[in-house]
Structure 1
Amino acid sequence: MGIRKEAVFKLGQCEVNPSDNSLCFFNSAVDGVSSEKVSVQPKFIEVLSYLARQYPEVVTREELIDNIWEGNTYVGSKALTNAIWHLRKHLNQELGEDNAIETVRKMGYRLLIEPCFNQSDLVDDLDLFEQSQLKIAQLTSLNRRIAAVGALALLFMFSAWAYHLYQDRIRYVPTLKQSLTTAAGSELYPIVSPDGRWLVYGSRSNNRYSSLYLKDLTKPTETPKRLTSTKTAEIRAVWSPDGEALYFGSEHRSEGKCYLTKLNLDSNEALKLGECYTYSSALDIAPDSSRLVYIWDAGEGDGSGLYELSLTEEALPKRLSCAEHCSYRDRDLAFSPDGRWLAIARRFGNISEDIFILNTKTAEERRLTFGLEDIRGLSWHQDNERLIFSTENSGVRNGFIVGINDKHILPLDVEGMSYPRSIPNTDELVYSNYMRDYQVASFALEQSIPTATFPLLQVDYSYRNPDYSAITERIVYVSNETGFNEIWTSDINGENRRQHTDLKRRVAYPSWSHDGTKIAFLAPDDKNEGNKIHVLDLSTSNISILATPYLDHNRPSWGWNDEMVLSRSKDGITEFYLDNRLPKVINSMNMRLGKMISEDKLVFTRLDKAGLWAVALSEPDNVTEVISEHHFGEGYNWVATDKGIYFRNTRRGFQLINFWRFNTGLITPILKLPSGSIPRSGAMTYIANNNSLLMTLSQNYKRDVIKLQHRLLH
């Protein structure tokens, strides 16, 4: 007998319902009445249903990935492990089983509890005649395949022999790295001229605006030449195909404007082509020199996106990105050497980004990757069939290469690779070596002896985004100790550490509930095309996802009574409820981070305007300014206490930790740090017990330009 895919079935005292993705646990003492109903992710239910339909057989990992993730091994491998972990946790705990799902070594998984299906869900097998006809058809097809295989066998053997020789030729190509720059600054966005002689890169230091520099690769000991003025800021450029000019964004600080600029290298003449978004925005030029494509915001309410500017005729920039009701934003781009494809790095939400390619003739679009975290540079291989890219995963940057036809991703295993760029007409590339670790640091306030920040943990991995609970007297933070960003907690001394999640899905921005029983955080959705607000219940270790129609959510924080979570959606400041009610928009403002400081008062920062703001939830339209935008330009690195607000202030060449006092409105600097010490995406929290601040600090290493030779590039 067969079984319908959508069939409801029982595993002991648990009813599995695929229609609403629930596990319903019954208590025999209450006469079959459900004692607990748990909603889980749809893919988890699909895995459990598939194992039940195959009971008591062993099901291989490959079979599960083929049937549930459509053969996508890159996503399915991690997702299947995660699904089995969650199913075991629910079933073992509620049914009292030692192991409801068995891992059969080197084979797969087997369900150990016999499923009970309704008779109505059983499908009759084929009758004897139909089985005979089917068998005949199968045998006929098999004979044809045998004949075809025999004819292709010699061809296959010859191809395998040729491929083996090719692999032997590239297998022994060594991985060689050569430093091209040794200056004290940070060298970013390297690109080599079409003739392979000249290297251009952007460099900035703590006390100067960034500029573009030109280095002659045939004279490695010569000092690089600065190409742009010290009164403007530039960092990212592309060469014209003939090698005679550079195109880049240039910020003129005295005017407060950014101009898309063409610099003719022979005459050193700079020509303004139009406005740009920022000097670090991505851009590239078509191989036929006909047009530039770049990231820009035209100020028409569509947000930033891809724009095309003709270089052969006078015309206004044309938007290429989605303009209305978009579920993504484009962030980086690269033309293929033959001009047929435009590669695009596309961000979904704020913790998920993937690569697409657009056919420049037909507008056909393909998706190449699923579930990347943060792309840091795109470049085409000279064969027009592979893309080289860098991505940051759980705080570690590395390089990869992906085929545009088979979508197969191979790691280059070059830690620190950022902004790779192929050297024209070669199998080599240049990249910026970027190594950055994060740590949670403690700073004691009002000490009689001046002190510096102290790391919370003396460890070699990155950890960040702390939040403190006075009820539990514990710190929650994100750590990549296991190879993935997961939720951890410790006491105020960094000891008695515990890992609370094993999602392997890049969790971020944890926030304690006021009563210390729950932690809200962000994690990607099932499709890795956005994020959802997750809530961890520490008493049960269960993780629930709050109901939402939105794709993207900003950092979560808790309402005063812990019955809802506040976050920004595309509609504004929004309340998300723990009882699965649909969320409610309370104000249309574009909030970055908000914190409740009383039962009715929310203080928050805004994406569209500097300053610290406040709103009463009972009067959501009455928004007031707490700290003027002239004194407060921070987005995330701030914390409210009973007496006032601690916040980061960025100055030219250094950073300050300031304190704004409620009763006087005065701002007092309390700590001076080197520029870049506190990252823009960090977090800050206050420990009243010992009157100290916790904050995310970053360790910036010197960044140099490296030339790379690698076997996978051949």
Structure 2
Amino acid sequence: MVEIRKEAMFRLGSCEVNPSDNSLNFYQLTDTNQSIEKVSIQPKFIEVLSYLARHYPNVVTREELIDTIWEGNSYVGSKALTNAIWHLRKQLSRVSDKQLIETVRKTGYRLQFEPEFNQADLVDDLDLFQQAELKISRLTVFNRRLKFGGFVALLLVIAMWGYHLYQDSIRYVPTLKQNLTTAAGSELYPAVSPDGRWLVYGSRGSNRYSSLYLKDLQNPTETPKRLTSTKSSEIRAIWSPDGGSLYYGSEHRSENKCYLTKLDLASNEASRLAECYSYSSAIDIAPDSSRLVYIWDGSEGAGSGLYELSLREADPSPQRLSCSEGCSYRDRDLAFSPDGQWLAIARRFGNISEDIFIVNIETGAEKRLTFGLEDIRGLSWHQDSERLIFSTENSGVRNGYIVGIDDIKVMPLEVEGMSYPRSIPNSDELVYSNYMRDYSVASFALEQSIPTATFPLLEVEYSYRNPDYSEQAKRIVYVSNETGFNEIWTSDIEGKQRRQHTDLKRRVAYPSWSHDGSKVAFLAPDDKNEGNKIHVLDMQTANISILATPYLDHNRPSWGWNDEMVLARSKDGITEFYLDNRLPKVISPVNMRLGKMINDDKLVFTQLGKGGLWVLSLANPDSVTELISANHFGEGYNWVANDKGVYFRQNRQGYQLINFWRFNTGLITPILKLPPGSIPRSGSMTYIANGNSLLMTLSQNYKRDVIKLQHKLLY
């Protein structure tokens, strides 16, 4: 058996790696002599590279690297490892045009270049103690290597005794996943009945309409039963505590209304309880069956929020629980604790920050559990009422976490794709919807003699989205999670000469070029992660400034024609934010989604909650004109205007279209047909004039199934 010393130096082509002083030494030959460039990097980066070299040519899993380098701390190690790989690749790119560290998808990493070690660093025939030491270091989570010395027999006894104490200190439970659904549709919002026998979930078919299904978990081969009609849409249901009924929102297309509904499973009788906001809105029932709490908009002008509906009154009226005036957040999800003491609430601050709070039902006292999450996708209590399980999306990747309400310690479950987890009653297991989605920027050539499809801008493994092109800078700006965080990047129109421009590690979003190509405006969370601010990146100096604002939330930014101010929606309407640090000015109360200046006076925009494409004059902002009728234009963000017209996305039943509306004729021409869901609702489009092409965000939806999870952190 041959082992390589941890501190051994080695070469990768023209690079000598020296772990003893954490350096990379690059050798360059000239006509007269040899020069050496020494680069010092972080010790953890060197440890990762050395570990890969000592295990060449084998694949090393991410878990093994995290256990070895970061002593099993996956919460820190996961992002740190991604960062280490990125920096190593960047430094080693000068050795070879070929990527030296290969990513083996869903497994780990391996070196593509054979390392050269000195023979003196190779150790043969390890004695029994060293073999035992290596075995123990791989089995224990903390990977602490036993030091040589003392009596071999006594040391082995102590090591085994310590190992068994460690094993006894935790109840080892392997992570096991079991698919509960395998249908072709997208199964969402799973919930298991109180007796553990039945699974209810929503499934959206190819016609975009959803129904509730019931599956017998004791007879898994039986076909699930559809519970609701094809004339209505339902997707999110909860069980009554006795297991005899289901409560859910139901959208009736013929009436264009949503009703909060109770379904008695014994009689199959459905009864309407009240109006609801959406069939996918969050809902939960108190453990004593006394009331429902759900998301609704009561049209009092306060917007959507939590409402309570009594189940013990004959003709109850919904009562608002959420903040109704001067609110800095929106309540979006909720869950009652099994003991009835707490109500957990997910609150959205602005449009890119969300966190979890718990409210004591008896006293009304609140407690914040998380700080700086991005997008919460499901809340559920553990059966002990002391821990919350939740899913969140971080820089394009969904995962599950658990947090204690006393210590507020967030622990990762490391279950990628977890969405809408729901604890199984009287069990330490849960069910969730597996949701995997990658984003990319795709190019589509216009007016080609030979029909073409979309082509990815980059052939990469990470997600990137929200492109914007500058004719002056001749570059594309976009958001990428290549470093483990969403940051601002640019490339040329062919996706080459890529550059990273921000390192905020705070989820940047929606970049927009200034007209002269010298600056980029974008959104990023504020210091408290309770809102967002408009940031401006100067491409020449790399300086980032934050525009003065009294608002917590801002929608997607775009530039004024003279580049002296940025336009975005605030809670007061369309607002100008100035680069000279003046306070912003509201120019119209219109609730704008996305706006673009098409000349020095005309702003073309879409509206929140209202279809159509609109235009107003900055000289006379009170005059708003419909440019494209809502009958033909229902898009919010996926559109772009050029000098001839407007390209935009249109959702149809079973597919999507990219259409072109001409200014001079007012005619709409379909130019590309795509599968449903290809262009996400939150995407963006940009036009490249000199290439006569469109860039757009595309998403790849994987099949979504319901999965049952067993995990040691749930015990």
Which residue number in structure 1 is paired with residue 180 of structure 2?
180
Report runs of 4+ in structure 1 exceeding 4 Å deviation.
73-78, 161-167
User: What amino acid sits opposite 1:191 in the alignment?
Assistant: A
Which residue number in structure 2 is paired with residue 698 of structure 1?
699
SS at match of 1:322: coil
User: What amino acid sits opposite 2:362 in the alignment?
Assistant: K
Which residue number in structure 2 is paired with residue 307 of structure 1?
307
CA distance in 2, matches of 1:587, 1:680: 25
Q: For 1:408-447, what aligned pairs fall within 5 Å after superposition?
A: 408-447=409-448
SS at match of 1:619: coil
CA positional deviation for 1:205: 2.1
Which residue number in structure 2 is paired with residue 276 of structure 1?
276
Which residue number in structure 2 is paired with residue 63 of structure 1?
none
CA positional deviation for 1:213: 0.3
SS at match of 2:623: strand
CA distance in 2, matches of 1:166, 1:341: 34
What do the CA deviations read for 1:329-384 (whole angstroms, capped 9, x no partner)? Answer: 00000000011100000000000000000111111111100000000000000111
CA positional deviation for 1:315: 2.1
CA distance in 2, matches of 1:200, 1:514: 52
CA distance in 1, matches of 2:545, 2:162: 53
Which residue number in structure 2 is paired with residue 608 of structure 1?
609
Q: In the alignment, does 2:507 pair up with 1:506?
A: yes
CA positional deviation for 1:609: 1.0
Which residue number in structure 2 is paired with residue 646 of structure 1?
647
What do the CA deviations read for 1:403-428 (whole angstroms, capped 9, x no partner)? Answer: 00110000000000000000000100
Which residue number in structure 2 is paired with residue 293 of structure 1?
293
CA distance in 2, matches of 1:457, 1:308: 49
CA positional deviation for 1:616: 0.7
Instruction: Determine if contact 1:206/1:654 at 8 Å carries over to the other structure.
Output: no
Q: In the alignment, does 2:223 pair up with 1:223?
A: yes
Instruction: Determine if contact 2:74/2:412 at 8 Å carries over to the other structure.
Output: no
CA positional deviation for 1:652: 1.2
Which residue number in structure 2 is paired with residue 658 of structure 1?
659
User: What amino acid sits opposite 2:536 in the alignment?
Assistant: V
Which residue number in structure 2 is paired with residue 579 of structure 1?
580
Instruction: Determine if contact 2:611/2:630 at 8 Å carries over to the other structure.
Output: yes
Q: In the alignment, does 2:238 pair up with 1:246?
A: no
Paired residues in the alignment total 561
Which residue number in structure 2 is paired with residue 153 of structure 1?
none
Which residue number in structure 1 is paired with residue 210 of structure 2?
210
CA distance in 2, matches of 1:700, 1:423: 27
SS at match of 2:713: helix
CA positional deviation for 1:299: 1.2
Instruction: Determine if contact 1:523/1:532 at 8 Å carries over to the other structure.
Output: yes
Q: For 1:36-47, what aligned pairs fall within 5 Å after superposition?
A: none
Q: In the alignment, does 2:698 pair up with 1:669?
A: no
User: What amino acid sits opposite 1:175 in the alignment?
Assistant: T
CA distance in 2, matches of 1:74, 1:701: 26
Which residue number in structure 1 is paired with residue 594 of structure 2?
593
Instruction: Determine if contact 2:479/2:487 at 8 Å carries over to the other structure.
Output: yes
User: What amino acid sits opposite 1:311 in the alignment?
Assistant: L
Q: In the alignment, does 2:366 pair up with 1:365?
A: yes
Structure 2 gaps of 5+ residues are 1-72, 79-160
Which residue number in structure 2 is paired with residue 469 of structure 1?
470
Instruction: Determine if contact 1:401/1:410 at 8 Å carries over to the other structure.
Output: yes
Instruction: Give the structure-1-normalised TM-score.
Output: 0.77
Instruction: Determine if contact 1:201/1:213 at 8 Å carries over to the other structure.
Output: yes
Instruction: Give the structure-2-normalised TM-score.
Output: 0.77
Q: CA RMSD in A?
A: 2.0
CA distance in 1, matches of 2:74, 2:575: 34
CA positional deviation for 1:300: 1.4
Instruction: Determine if contact 1:208/1:230 at 8 Å carries over to the other structure.
Output: no
Which residue number in structure 1 is paired with residue 346 of structure 2?
345
User: What amino acid sits opposite 2:602 in the alignment?
Assistant: K
User: What amino acid sits opposite 2:307 in the alignment?
Assistant: Y
What do the CA deviations read for 1:219-270 (whole angstroms, capped 9, x no partner)? Answer: 1111110000011000000000000000000000011000000000011000
Which residue number in structure 1 is paired with residue 122 of structure 2?
none
Instruction: Determine if contact 2:247/2:262 at 8 Å carries over to the other structure.
Output: yes
- CA distance 1:187–1:587, change in 2 (3 Å): same
Structure 1 gaps of 5+ residues are 1-72, 79-160
Instruction: Determine if contact 2:573/2:592 at 8 Å carries over to the other structure.
Output: yes
SS at match of 2:168: helix
User: What amino acid sits opposite 1:265 in the alignment?
Assistant: L
SS at match of 1:712: helix
Which residue number in structure 2 is paired with residue 547 of structure 1?
548
CA distance in 2, matches of 1:351, 1:163: 44
User: What amino acid sits opposite 2:664 in the alignment?
Assistant: N
CA distance in 2, matches of 1:607, 1:165: 59
- CA distance 1:528–1:75, change in 2 (3 Å): farther
SS at match of 1:476: strand
CA positional deviation for 1:75: 13
CA positional deviation for 1:164: 9.4
CA positional deviation for 1:492: 0.4
Instruction: Determine if contact 2:75/2:412 at 8 Å carries over to the other structure.
Output: no
Which residue number in structure 2 is paired with residue 35 of structure 1?
none
User: What amino acid sits opposite 1:666 in the alignment?
Assistant: L
